[in-house]
Protein backbone atom coordinates (compact mmCIF):
# COMPACT_ATOMS: atom_id res chain seq x y z
CA UNK A 1 0.00 0.00 0.00
CA UNK A 2 1.31 3.45 -0.93
CA UNK A 3 1.49 5.82 1.99
CA UNK A 4 0.36 9.31 1.05
CA UNK A 5 2.05 12.22 2.72
CA UNK A 6 -0.13 14.85 4.33
CA UNK A 7 -0.75 17.96 2.20
CA UNK A 8 -0.63 21.16 4.23
CA UNK A 9 -2.54 24.34 3.28
CA UNK A 10 -2.15 27.84 4.65
CA UNK A 11 -5.17 30.11 4.15
CA UNK A 12 -4.60 33.87 3.98
CA UNK A 13 -7.65 36.05 4.74
CA UNK A 14 -8.28 39.68 5.69
CA UNK A 15 -12.07 39.66 6.12
CA UNK A 16 -15.01 37.57 7.26
CA UNK A 17 -13.48 34.32 6.01
CA UNK A 18 -16.51 32.62 4.47
CA UNK A 19 -14.36 31.15 1.68
CA UNK A 20 -11.72 30.04 4.19
CA UNK A 21 -14.41 28.25 6.20
CA UNK A 22 -15.87 26.55 3.10
CA UNK A 23 -12.39 25.30 2.15
CA UNK A 24 -11.71 24.04 5.68
CA UNK A 25 -15.08 22.24 5.76
CA UNK A 26 -14.42 20.70 2.33
CA UNK A 27 -11.26 18.99 3.61
CA UNK A 28 -12.59 18.00 7.05
CA UNK A 29 -13.13 14.38 6.05
CA UNK A 30 -9.97 14.12 3.93
CA UNK A 31 -7.18 12.57 6.03
CA UNK A 32 -4.57 13.50 3.41
CA UNK A 33 -5.11 17.28 3.60
CA UNK A 34 -4.72 19.60 6.57
CA UNK A 35 -5.56 23.28 6.89
CA UNK A 36 -2.45 23.96 8.95
CA UNK A 37 -2.75 27.69 9.44
CA UNK A 38 -4.96 30.71 8.87
CA UNK A 39 -2.85 33.79 8.28
CA UNK A 40 -4.22 37.34 8.57
CA UNK A 41 -3.09 40.94 8.58
CA UNK A 42 -6.30 42.07 10.30
CA UNK A 43 -6.66 41.40 14.05
CA UNK A 44 -10.39 42.24 13.82
CA UNK A 45 -11.11 39.95 10.86
CA UNK A 46 -14.10 37.62 11.17
CA UNK A 47 -11.94 34.79 9.88
CA UNK A 48 -10.18 34.65 13.28
CA UNK A 49 -13.38 33.60 15.06
CA UNK A 50 -14.09 31.06 12.31
CA UNK A 51 -10.56 29.65 12.75
CA UNK A 52 -11.08 29.28 16.51
CA UNK A 53 -14.36 27.47 15.89
CA UNK A 54 -12.62 25.15 13.41
CA UNK A 55 -9.60 24.65 15.72
CA UNK A 56 -7.14 26.00 13.15
CA UNK A 57 -4.11 27.97 14.42
CA UNK A 58 -4.04 31.67 13.50
CA UNK A 59 -0.98 33.74 12.65
CA UNK A 60 -1.37 37.53 12.74
CA UNK A 61 1.22 39.85 11.26
CA UNK A 62 1.70 43.50 10.40
CA UNK A 63 2.84 45.26 7.23
CA UNK A 64 6.45 45.65 8.40
CA UNK A 65 6.84 41.95 9.19
CA UNK A 66 5.26 40.98 5.86
CA UNK A 67 7.20 43.29 3.56
CA UNK A 68 10.44 44.12 5.38
CA UNK A 69 11.38 40.68 6.71
CA UNK A 70 11.23 37.11 5.42
CA UNK A 71 9.70 35.81 8.67
CA UNK A 72 6.35 34.84 7.14
CA UNK A 73 8.01 33.09 4.19
CA UNK A 74 10.36 31.21 6.51
CA UNK A 75 7.54 30.20 8.84
CA UNK A 76 5.55 28.78 5.90
CA UNK A 77 8.63 26.85 4.74
CA UNK A 78 9.26 25.57 8.29
CA UNK A 79 5.61 24.46 8.51
CA UNK A 80 6.10 22.49 5.25
CA UNK A 81 3.18 24.28 3.59
CA UNK A 82 2.32 22.76 0.20
CA UNK A 83 -0.19 25.34 -0.98
CA UNK A 84 -1.04 28.92 -0.01
CA UNK A 85 -4.67 29.85 -0.67
CA UNK A 86 -5.74 33.50 -0.62
CA UNK A 87 -9.35 33.75 0.50
CA UNK A 88 -10.11 37.45 0.62
CA UNK A 89 -6.57 38.58 1.40
CA UNK A 90 -6.04 42.20 0.34
CA UNK A 91 -2.28 42.71 0.28
CA UNK A 92 0.06 42.09 -2.62
CA UNK A 93 2.30 39.06 -2.10
CA UNK A 94 5.98 40.01 -1.60
CA UNK A 95 8.35 38.82 -4.33
CA UNK A 96 10.35 36.61 -1.95
CA UNK A 97 7.24 34.73 -0.88
CA UNK A 98 6.12 34.21 -4.51
CA UNK A 99 9.59 32.92 -5.43
CA UNK A 100 9.66 30.54 -2.45
CA UNK A 101 6.30 29.02 -3.49
CA UNK A 102 6.26 28.97 -7.32
CA UNK A 103 2.83 27.97 -8.64
CA UNK A 104 1.85 27.17 -5.07
CA UNK A 105 -0.12 30.34 -4.28
CA UNK A 106 -3.65 30.72 -5.63
CA UNK A 107 -6.23 33.47 -5.33
CA UNK A 108 -9.89 33.96 -6.14
CA UNK A 109 -11.06 37.20 -7.75
CA UNK A 110 -14.77 38.16 -7.75
CA UNK A 111 -14.94 39.00 -11.48
CA UNK A 112 -13.91 37.60 -14.84
CA UNK A 113 -10.28 38.64 -15.21
CA UNK A 114 -8.67 40.39 -16.98
CA UNK A 115 -11.69 42.69 -16.56
CA UNK A 116 -12.03 44.52 -13.24
CA UNK A 117 -8.68 43.47 -11.79
CA UNK A 118 -5.74 45.38 -10.36
CA UNK A 119 -4.95 47.49 -7.31
CA UNK A 120 -8.02 48.61 -5.41
CA UNK A 121 -10.30 46.19 -7.27
CA UNK A 122 -11.58 43.94 -4.52
CA UNK A 123 -14.85 43.12 -2.83
CA UNK A 124 -17.65 45.57 -3.38
CA UNK A 125 -15.52 47.85 -5.58
CA UNK A 126 -15.47 45.08 -8.19
CA UNK A 127 -19.23 44.54 -8.15
CA UNK A 128 -19.89 48.30 -8.34
CA UNK A 129 -17.59 48.53 -11.38
CA UNK A 130 -19.32 45.57 -13.07
CA UNK A 131 -22.75 47.18 -12.65
CA UNK A 132 -21.49 50.63 -13.70
CA UNK A 133 -20.06 49.13 -16.91
CA UNK A 134 -23.47 47.56 -17.77
CA UNK A 135 -21.90 44.12 -17.98
CA UNK A 136 -24.23 41.22 -18.81
CA UNK A 137 -22.18 38.69 -16.87
CA UNK A 138 -19.71 38.44 -14.03
CA UNK A 139 -18.27 35.54 -12.12
CA UNK A 140 -15.10 34.30 -10.46
CA UNK A 141 -11.53 33.80 -11.56
CA UNK A 142 -9.20 31.46 -9.70
CA UNK A 143 -5.60 32.10 -10.64
CA UNK A 144 -1.99 31.58 -9.63
CA UNK A 145 -0.43 34.52 -7.80
CA UNK A 146 2.59 36.49 -8.96
CA UNK A 147 4.06 39.81 -7.82
CA UNK A 148 1.28 41.84 -9.50
CA UNK A 149 -2.38 42.16 -8.58
CA UNK A 150 -4.61 39.75 -10.52
CA UNK A 151 -2.11 38.99 -13.31
CA UNK A 152 -1.19 35.36 -12.58
CA UNK A 153 -2.11 32.50 -14.89
CA UNK A 154 -5.84 31.70 -14.84
CA UNK A 155 -6.75 28.23 -13.53
CA UNK A 156 -10.56 28.35 -13.63
CA UNK A 157 -13.47 30.72 -14.30
CA UNK A 158 -17.21 30.41 -13.64
CA UNK A 159 -19.86 32.81 -14.94
CA UNK A 160 -23.14 34.24 -13.66
CA UNK A 161 -25.59 36.55 -15.43
CA UNK A 162 -25.89 40.23 -14.54
CA UNK A 163 -29.31 41.69 -15.34
CA UNK A 164 -30.05 45.39 -15.96
CA UNK A 165 -31.85 45.57 -12.61
CA UNK A 166 -29.04 43.96 -10.55
CA UNK A 167 -27.45 46.06 -7.83
CA UNK A 168 -23.84 45.51 -6.71
CA UNK A 169 -25.26 43.57 -3.74
CA UNK A 170 -27.16 41.28 -6.12
CA UNK A 171 -24.00 40.62 -8.10
CA UNK A 172 -22.05 40.01 -4.88
CA UNK A 173 -24.56 37.34 -3.81
CA UNK A 174 -24.38 35.55 -7.18
CA UNK A 175 -20.58 35.66 -7.17
CA UNK A 176 -20.36 34.34 -3.59
CA UNK A 177 -22.46 31.31 -4.57
CA UNK A 178 -19.89 30.55 -7.30
CA UNK A 179 -16.99 31.09 -4.87
CA UNK A 180 -18.36 28.65 -2.31
CA UNK A 181 -19.30 26.10 -4.98
CA UNK A 182 -16.02 26.06 -6.91
CA UNK A 183 -13.09 27.33 -4.81
CA UNK A 184 -12.72 24.30 -2.48
CA UNK A 185 -12.86 21.88 -5.42
CA UNK A 186 -10.30 23.84 -7.44
CA UNK A 187 -7.99 24.01 -4.41
CA UNK A 188 -8.20 20.21 -4.23
CA UNK A 189 -7.44 19.88 -7.94
CA UNK A 190 -4.41 22.20 -7.68
CA UNK A 191 -3.10 20.10 -4.77
CA UNK A 192 -3.40 17.00 -6.94
CA UNK A 193 -1.63 18.71 -9.86
CA UNK A 194 1.22 19.76 -7.55
CA UNK A 195 1.49 16.16 -6.41
CA UNK A 196 2.00 14.72 -9.91
Whole-angstrom Cα distance, residue 15 to residue 45?
A: 5
Please say if 180 is a catalytic residue: no
Whole-angstrom Cα distance, residue 176 to residue 181?
A: 8
Q: Answer for the pair 140, 179: CB distance below 8 angstroms, yes or no.
A: yes
Q: Answer for the pair 159, 112: CB distance below 8 angstroms, yes or no.
A: yes
Q: Answer for the pair 36, 9: CB distance below 8 angstroms, yes or no.
A: yes
Residue among 186, 188, 184, 191 at smallest CA distance from 20? 184
Which one of 109, 124, 143, 148 is the catalytic residue? 109
Whole-angstrom Cα distance, residue 74 to residue 117?
A: 29
Q: Answer for the pair 77, 100: CB distance below 8 angstroms, yes or no.
A: yes
Name the residues annotated as catalytic: 109
Amino acid sequence: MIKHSLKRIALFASGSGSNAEKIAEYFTSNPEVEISLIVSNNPKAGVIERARRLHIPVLLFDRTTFYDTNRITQLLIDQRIDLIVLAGFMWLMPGGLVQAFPNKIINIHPALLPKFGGKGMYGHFVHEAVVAANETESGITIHYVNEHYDEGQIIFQAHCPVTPTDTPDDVARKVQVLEHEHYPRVVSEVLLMNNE
